[in-house]
């Protein structure tokens, strides 16, 4: 009997063709494409990753790098018979360096494991997102993840000193170390971060850590609309002089979705049109309470809750953290993840609601990272509508959304990346010369176009 390349590869690394593995590892959190990988491999160390890639390169086999599969742009989808390269067994978890504040981990360590490991000595990796239990460091860096603390700390790319990356020809690159200051020519490490698995496979990273704030306070404040939320942001910074850790927006229907799915009571006396969840550094003192009273007496805030214990803090955060899962369990969602400069967000939302929203074939649900000018625009499929009609209607309305963003110099993907799902949007935020330059880099590193083919752009 003839042996296939899959038999050959299975002699070198753990490999699965079990139908449930092909289903589970052939997709991410999106549910738009049907997973159809040829097999899934589970290399156990960086050298095995290189061996797999060299094998694929020699035989012309397409490969999809796969992390925790929580991605929201279908970047880790294998719908065309590709080989899935799961990084989940790269589980090296180093010691925290208490002097240099760094930590070296394998790509398959989850975001939450990094947090738990660092917190033992009062440190944190400040990349914090609701998917933290499942998403992996490799995936966080491949997507340059944002999350709820970007307002204070920035994106993932600011919290890495060193990266180990395998190229499709099997070369293992060591890009940077634990050294903080290192200006030796162009920085390939930063090129790899955010490249969504199309340029190389991240096998290991040295993360930069920071000191956890001693104390943080969490407030959930009911507001009339997004404009009031933006006024509150300015007030918090300039009058309140608050050091913000998070400043998140939740529209009424998102709050209602979490209350319904999770069977949670309304945190306010009555359900408000919108709410803002704020986390600030520092102690719970008179000044903070006075600030809350001030914004309420000025009519900026209708009602508010201030957490008085860690349990209360977690329970307020649950209204924000569970939006994605709650909406997902209520129906099929079409998702956009946009950003404009925060000073133009009010203008953006007004045009969105008056001129764009009516063209979408379902109800719009808005939430997101207000302090960063980043909103998640979700549209739910009406139950009576068939999915094809829904997707087509959404795609038509998206053109209006992307035009609006182009006019405002906004971003069509603030934190989730482009993957397969947002390819049609790319040209609204990136010019042809820029895309072509990245395409030339891609061709130089991966001349056969085998690494995560079809993602971000077509060659």
| 454 part of the interface to ligand FAD, by CB under 6 A | no
* Residue 68 partner contact from ligand MLT, ligand FAD, none using kind-dependent CB cut-offs of 5 to 8 Å: ligand FAD
Please choose, from the candidates 432, 355, 340, 454, the residue with its C-alpha nearest in 3D space to the C-alpha of residue 399. Answer: 355
Helices (H), 60-205: 111-119, 137-142, 150-153, 188-192
| Closest residue by beta carbon to ligand FAD | 139
SS3 label, residue 333: strand
Report in angstroms how near the CB of residue 435 gets to ligand MLT at its nearest.
24
Question: Cα separation of 317 and 432, whole Å?
Answer: 41
Residue 279 as a binder of ligand MLT (CB under 6 A): the answer is no
H helix runs in 143-222, sequence order: 150-153, 188-192
Question: Contact between 76 and ligand FAD (CB under 6 A)?
Answer: yes
Q: Per CB under 6 A, does 71 bind ligand FAD?
A: yes
Which residue(s) pair with 281 in the sheet? 216
> In the window 105-134, what residues touch ligand MLT (CB under 6 A)?
130
Distance CA 338, CA 373 (A): 8
Please list every residue from 332 through 361 that binds ligand MLT, using CB under 6 A.
335, 337
Closest CA to 221 of 109, 114, 304, 336: 304
The listed partner (ligand FAD, ligand MLT, none) that binds 452, CB under 5 to 8 Å by sort, is ligand FAD
Per partner kind, with CB cut-offs from 5 to 8 A, the member of ligand MLT, ligand FAD, none near residue 337 is ligand MLT
Structural tokens at position 172? 């293992």
Tokens (6 digits) for 370 = 């207000």
Closest CB 415 distance from ligand MLT, rounded Å? 6
Structure tokens at 422: 């947002």
Candidate list 43, 139, 304, 393; residue touching ligand FAD; CB under 6 A = 139
Phi, psi of 394 (to 5 degrees): -65, -40
- Radius of gyration in angstroms for the set of CA atoms belonging to the chain, rounded to a whole number: 23
Can you tell me which of 140, 245, 336, 413 binds ligand FAD, judged by CB under 6 A? 140
Residues that bind ligand FAD (CB under 6 A): 28-29, 64-72, 75-76, 87, 107, 129-131, 135-136, 138-140, 142-143, 145-147, 196-197, 201-202, 324-325, 415-416, 419, 452, 455
Residues that bind ligand MLT (CB under 6 A): 72, 130, 324, 335, 337, 368, 376
């Amino acid at each position: 009997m003839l042996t296939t390349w899959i038999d050959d590869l299975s002699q070198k690394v753990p490999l699965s063709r079990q139908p449930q593995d092909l289903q589970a590892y052939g997709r991410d959190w999106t549910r738009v494409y049907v997973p159809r990988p040829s097999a899934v491999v589970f290399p156990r160390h960086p050298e095995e990753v290189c061996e797999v890639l060299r094998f694929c390169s020699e035989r012309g086999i397409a490969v999809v790098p796969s992390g925790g599969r929580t991605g929201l742009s279908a970047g880790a989808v294998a719908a065309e018979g590709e080989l899935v390269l799961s990084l989940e067994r790269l589980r090296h978890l180093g010691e925290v360096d208490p002097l240099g504040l760094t930590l070296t981990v394998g790509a398959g360590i989850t975001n939450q494991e990094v947090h738990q490991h660092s917190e033992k000595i009062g440190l944190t990796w400040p990349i914090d997102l609701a998917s933290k239990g499942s998403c992996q460091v490799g995936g966080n860096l491949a997507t340059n993840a944002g999350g709820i603390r970007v307002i204070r700390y920035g994106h993932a790319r600011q919290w890495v000193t060193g990266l180990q990356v395998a190229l499709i020809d099997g070369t293992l690159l060591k890009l940077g170390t634990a050294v903080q200051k290192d200006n030796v020519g162009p920085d390939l490490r930063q090129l790899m971060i955010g490249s969504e698995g199309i340029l190389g496979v991240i096998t290991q990273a040295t993360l930069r850590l920071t000191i956890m704030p001693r104390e943080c306070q969490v407030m959930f404040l009911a507001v009339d609309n997004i404009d009031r939320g933006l006024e509150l942001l300015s007030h918090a910074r300039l009058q309140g002089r608050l050091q913000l850790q998070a400043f998140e927006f939740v529209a009424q229907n998102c709050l209602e979705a979490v209350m319904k799915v999770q069977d949670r009571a309304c945190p306010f006396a009555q359900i408000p049109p919108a709410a803002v969840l704020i986390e600030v550094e520092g102690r719970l003192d008179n000044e903070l309470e006075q600030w809350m009273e001030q914004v309420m007496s000025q009519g900026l805030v209708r009602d508010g809750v201030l957490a008085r214990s860690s349990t209360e803090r977690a329970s307020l955060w649950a209204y924000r953290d569970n939006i994605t899962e709650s909406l997902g369990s209520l129906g099929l969602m079409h998702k956009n993840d946009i950003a404009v400069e925060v000073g133009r967000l009010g203008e953006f939302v007004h045009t969105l609601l008056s001129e764009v929203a009516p063209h979408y074939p379902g109800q719009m649900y808005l939430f997101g990272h207000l302090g960063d000018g980043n909103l998640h625009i979700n549209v739910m499929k009406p139950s009576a509508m068939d999915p094809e009609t829904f997707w087509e209607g959404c795609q038509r309305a998206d053109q209006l959304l992307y035009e609006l963003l182009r006019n405002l110099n906004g971003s069509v993907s603030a934190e989730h990346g482009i993957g397969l799902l947002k390819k049609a949007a790319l040209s609204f935020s990136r010019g042809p010369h820029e895309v072509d330059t990245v395409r030339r880099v891609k061709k130089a590193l991966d001349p056969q176009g085998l690494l995560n083919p079809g993602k971000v752009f077509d060659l």
